Amino acid sequence: MTRRQLHLNAFLMSTGHHEASWRLPESDPYASVDLAHYRDLARIAERGTFDSLFLADGPVLFNHVGQRPSGVLEPLTLLTALAVATEHIGLIATASTSYNSPYNLARRFASLDHISGGRAGWNIVTTAGADAARNFGLDDEPAHATRYERAAEFLDVARKLWDSWEDDVVVADKAVGVWGDERKIHPPRHRGTHFSVEGALNVPRGPQGYPLLVQAGSSQDGRHFAARHAEAVFTAQQTLGDAQRFYADLKARAAAEGRDPDHLKILPGIVPLIGATEAEARAHERVLDEHIVPEHGLQHLERLLRLEPGTLRLDAQLPADLPPESAIEGAKSRYTLIVELARRERLTVRELIGRLGGGRGHLTFAGTPEQVADAIEKWFGLGAADGFNIMPALLPSGLALFVDHVVPILRARGLYRTEYGPRGTLRDRYGLPRPVNPYTVPSLTHA
Amino acid sequence: MTRRQLHLNAFLMSTGHHEASWRLPESDPYASVDLAHYRDLARIAERGTFDSLFLADGPVLFNHVGQRPSGVLEPLTLLTALAVATEHIGLIATASTSYNSPYNLARRFASLDHISGGRAGWNIVTTAGADAARNFGLDDEPAHATRYERAAEFLDVARKLWDSWEDDVVVADKAVGVWGDERKIHPPRHRGTHFSVEGALNVPRGPQGYPLLVQAGSSQDGRHFAARHAEAVFTAQQTLGDAQRFYADLKARAAAEGRDPDHLKILPGIVPLIGATEAEARAHERVLDEHIVPEHGLQHLERLLRLEPGTLRLDAQLPADLPPESAIEGAKSRYTLIVELARRERLTVRELIGRLGGGRGHLTFAGTPEQVADAIEKWFGLGAADGFNIMPALLPSGLALFVDHVVPILRARGLYRTEYGPRGTLRDRYGLPRPVNPYTVPSLTHA
């Protein structure tokens, strides 16, 4: 029997996940719009036989440009360029169900799936925040529950569009002049609450049928959505216990939805800070943290917690009277994670900023390659993860260190693939089935 | 003084513009979703030092899959992949102002412009037809004038978004920790009839400022829009006289709008059918036409003319009582072109279908390379064109024949570039200025 194997995803972000990463000598301040930078990162990840690359996104200018690199390449566009520059690695783009049309977005993912030979993935987000809403004609963000309701209908329509072509439409009878079989085209004729979509997609069904469906919110609405629809989940977990509870909860929810729990892969985020010795790794972390401008972190934290500017004090703890998660309309799980982290470890705002600056609340782990591999093996073995979302603090060096020093250990322990093997789709890498087109009549050969 | 030079655009379409092209032996029936096919075409066009590639588009399944290859890769996605596979050639994608959001589309074009090093172009279309409307929650297409009104506001917002970053935002002061100058970010805060868009784009201003702005409708609304906004116009003209009148009209309109008429390049479409002798070219045309299934063409023509199925007879002329262009809500200029062509040459429906099957009403020219070059030089010299939109009937061979046999003649005559020369943007190729950001204070050096 084959031993269960880890899955690894590289979460790319310009000069790295640490907010001060751009200030280090190796970093190119223009990296966020530089295709060559991302091509290098993709090739490093492919050298490490990663399952996939991932790009976060929101249709809004997030950062204050005074503070850190802002402005990025649109993810599906960038990943399409990277599809041509790579051969094997999966390409997961974040795209919003609140600020897209199903027809347009389903087309784009189907197109990327064709172009990449079946390597497209979609991180389905509902997009929190009034700033994004105001870029699309709304005055404020729709309510959390409304956004998830729209997301479910959006995905329903997208599936109908991807299934609107059966896999074997093309007849290609040149002699007679018949290209395809019209009976194998199935217009959605969808009339719902949020969308009406009449016609078939204008892209044939892609190599994967659907792109890999990914989800990253951990609120109750988010978990419900993930249990029903997601095939991979990116999550922020600070402790082994929290991660185990989240893992067990989501697998149980998937089973309760009638799904094979193994068809939902859970990947906690990890920010590895790697050194030849533990002391070297900690020194590297300290250098990064020392480059954080605390006042910038303070403003960022106030926005995350939906507080008025000037509410927080750097050397005090968070106020006791923060609202409960239920009162927050956007990014609920991130809100709770930050508040619980600060309360659990009695962090001052300054300390909390340092912790968040490293990777926005994901598990930061500083140590030797063996220590990082040990942590990964432990979480993987103890029911906390099917793999990891690797979020290097500094790019490209952090990814290269992981690939060249941690990956070989994981391989030597038999936990991780040593090569990609025969050309496969992103679904193949994650051990997920290709969705059957519901219109396709099963073969009667074995009836 | 440098002699005025031709501009050439390659209008790519799966196996070619002739509707029966897919039935010929060289054609791959799966070409429309095959990146390798398009990469080959792009490289042939680049070998011919073409200014640009172009892809048409509508967010709807156009063709009847029984009749000819249907389903394509989404143009901006495909052109992003081709950006990586090419070095010099411009990349012009069609995208609809009726069925996109300005924020999303402006992002995608800015991203492609960065990725391609300044080679992005946008063919701005309003998208005719109820079928497309019904894929986006509408019951019928918006009125022609409403679509153009929305297009004008869409472009206004897109420009504000592309200008929301001045060119020199980035300070990159690593020592102090200041990445950019906030004062050089200008959120549109747009509140209009069709759109409200508050925030700045999340992509820095691209190498070209704006993508090259292209337009292809020749109705009165279309000409008005082109005269105000377009920098290149693709047009279908059947006779030298018609082309000269169109050219003079559009240049005059541009001047009346206060623009330099030379900053609006006019490129009629031409379907070249090339043979070693004229007889060979005509034989090739005949082979293509013989592969048309007349009943398919009949149905297609009825849809184009908005007639009930069964109205037309193959061996009769068009009915005398067709509605005037003013009664047509979509694709007005195409409608008039077809009706006038049929009336002028007293074509039967069968003959008209043969003519349209070759390139949908564009000028088809069968002859030797010298004859094709002569026609091009004539139109170019007599005030009918600044260049041509080359629409090969059969791909890839039709493009290769043009590049390897017609282009050398045009070069020898001094009408066309012999090499790309130093790396330049698409605007540089067409001799168009880079738009100045209105927020950027002019240098006072020479004040």
Listing DSSP states for B361-386 in one string gives TSEEEEE-HHHHHHHHHHHHHTTS-S
Residues of B in contact with A61 (CB under 8 A): 185, 199-202
> Across the interface, do B59 and A29 touch by the CB < 8 Å criterion?
no
Decide if pLDDT at B164 tops 90: yes
Residues of A in contact with B68 (CB under 8 A): 179
Residues of A in contact with B23 (CB under 8 A): 174, 177
**Alpha-carbon gap: A152 to the closest alpha carbon of chain B (Å):** 17
Decide if pLDDT at B334 tops 70: yes
Architecture of the domain defined by B7-273+362-430? Alpha-Beta Barrel (3.20)
Residues of A in contact with B185 (CB under 8 A): 61, 65
The set of long-range contacts for A196-199, using a CB threshold of 8 Å and a minimum separation of 24, is A196/B134, A196/B137, A196/B138, A197/A102, A197/A103, A197/A157, A197/A160, A197/A161, A197/B134, A197/B135, A197/B136, A197/B137, A198/B131, A198/B134, A198/B135, A199/A164, A199/B60, A199/B61, A199/B131, A199/B134, A199/B135
Residues of A in contact with B169 (CB under 8 A): 65
Nearest to B103 among A76, A136, A181 (CB): A136
CATH class of the domain at A7-271+364-429? alpha beta
Decide if pLDDT at A215 tops 70: yes
Residues of A in contact with B111 (CB under 8 A): 73-74, 77-78
A24: helix, strand or coil: coil
Contacts of B263 (CB under 8 A, 6+ apart): B231, B254, B432, B433
Regarding predicted confidence, which is higher, A386 or B298?
A: A386
As a whole number, mean pLDDT of residues A426-431 equals 97
What is the biggest distance separating any 2 CA atoms in chain A, rounded to whole angstroms? 80
Confidence of residue A2 (pLDDT cuts 50, 70, 90): low
Q: How high is the pLDDT of residue A246? A: 96
> Across the interface, do A69 and B179 touch by the CB < 8 Å criterion?
yes
> Across the interface, do A203 and B33 touch by the CB < 8 Å criterion?
yes
> Across the interface, do B134 and A59 touch by the CB < 8 Å criterion?
no
pLDDT digits (tens, 9 = 90+) for B89-110: 999 999 999 999 999 999 999 9
What is the C-alpha to C-alpha distance for residues A119 and A52, in angstroms, rounded to an integer? Answer: 8
> Across the interface, do B202 and A62 touch by the CB < 8 Å criterion?
yes
Confidence of residue A322 (pLDDT cuts 50, 70, 90): confident
What is the C-alpha to C-alpha distance for residues A390 and A12, in angstroms, rounded to an integer? Answer: 9
> Across the interface, do B65 and A135 touch by the CB < 8 Å criterion?
no
Q: How high is the pLDDT of residue A447? A: 42
Q: In this complex, how many residue pairs, one in chain A and one in chain B, have their CB atoms less than 8 Å apart?
A: 218
Confidence of residue A249 (pLDDT cuts 50, 70, 90): very high
Decide if pLDDT at B360 tops 60: no
> Across the interface, do B77 and A291 touch by the CB < 8 Å criterion?
no
Nearest to A29 among B25, B170, B293 (CB): B170
Q: How high is the pLDDT of residue B179? A: 95
Q: How high is the pLDDT of residue B163? A: 98
Q: Which of A322-331, A428-437, B188-197, B414-423 has the lowest mean pLDDT?
A: A322-331
CA distances from B398 to A58, B11, B322 (A): 43, 12, 35
**CA-nearest residue of chain A to B108?**
A74
Residues of A in contact with B87 (CB under 8 A): none
As a whole number, mean pLDDT of residues B351-380 equals 86
> Across the interface, do A83 and B85 touch by the CB < 8 Å criterion?
no
Residues of A in contact with B78 (CB under 8 A): 111, 115
Residues of B in contact with A65 (CB under 8 A): 169, 179-182, 185
Mutation site for B-interface testing, chosen from A104, A113, A163, A191 by largest number of B Cβ within 10 Å: A104
Helices (H), A13-60: 35-47
Q: How high is the pLDDT of residue B241? A: 96
pLDDT digits (tens, 9 = 90+) for B381-396: 999 999 999 999 999 9
Decide if pLDDT at B359 tops 90: no
Contact A278, A368 (CB under 8 A): yes
Nearest to B182 among A33, A66, A111 (CB): A66
CA distances from B348 to A51, B43, B296, B345, B361 (A): 59, 40, 15, 9, 15
Mutation site for A-interface testing, chosen from B34, B70, B168 by largest number of A Cβ within 10 Å: B70
**Among A124, A94, A340, which residue's Cα sits nearest to residue A215?**
A124
**Among B275, B253, B278, which residue's Cα sits nearest to residue B263?**
B253
**CA-nearest residue of chain A to B201?**
A61
Confidence of residue A358 (pLDDT cuts 50, 70, 90): low
Residue A440 DSSP code: S
User: b vs e for B165-194, b when ≥16 Cβ sit within 10 Å of the residue's Cβ?
Assistant: bbbebbeeebeebbbbeeebbbbbebebeb
Q: State CA A57 to chain mean position distance.
A: 9
Q: How high is the pLDDT of residue B78? A: 98
Q: Which of A189-203, B218-232, B344-358 has the lowest mean pLDDT?
A: B344-358
Contact B341, B368 (CB under 8 A): no
**Among A447, A445, A441, A444, which residue's Cα sits nearest to residue A168?**
A441
Q: How high is the pLDDT of residue A445? A: 59
Share of chain A above pLDDT 90, in %: 78
Residue B330: how many other CB atoms lie within 10 Å: 22
**Alpha-carbon gap: A304 to the closest alpha carbon of chain B (Å):** 18
Q: How high is the pLDDT of residue B397? A: 97
As a whole number, mean pLDDT of residues A194-215 equals 98
Contact B278, B366 (CB under 8 A): yes
Structure tokens at A306: 């939906």
Nearest to B66 among A60, A85, A179 (CB): A179
Contacts of B256 (CB under 8 A, 6+ apart): B227
Rg (CA), chain A: 22
Residue B325's Cβ-count burial label (10 Å; 0-12, 13-18, 19+) is: middle
**Alpha-carbon gap: A20 to the closest alpha carbon of chain B (Å):** 8
**CA-nearest residue of chain A to B106?**
A74
Q: How high is the pLDDT of residue B444? A: 59
Query: Does B102 sit behind a cis peptide bond, omega within 30 degrees of 0 on the bond before it?
Result: no
Residue B274's Cβ-count burial label (10 Å; 0-12, 13-18, 19+) is: buried
Residue B404 DSSP code: I
Q: Which residues pair with A215 in a beta bridge?
A: A124, A233
Residue B402 DSSP code: I
ipTM over 0.90: yes
Nearest to B179 among A22, A25, A83 (CB): A22
What is the C-alpha to C-alpha distance for residues B35 and B54, in angstroms, rounded to an integer? Answer: 15
Residues of A in contact with B182 (CB under 8 A): 64-66
> Across the interface, do B73 and A131 touch by the CB < 8 Å criterion?
no
Q: Calculate ∠ Cα B207-B209-B215, nearest 5°.
A: 115
pLDDT digits (tens, 9 = 90+) for A392-423: 999 999 999 999 999 999 999 999 999 998 87
3-state secondary structure A123-159: EEECCCCHHHHHHHCCCCCCCHHHHHHHHHHHHHHHH
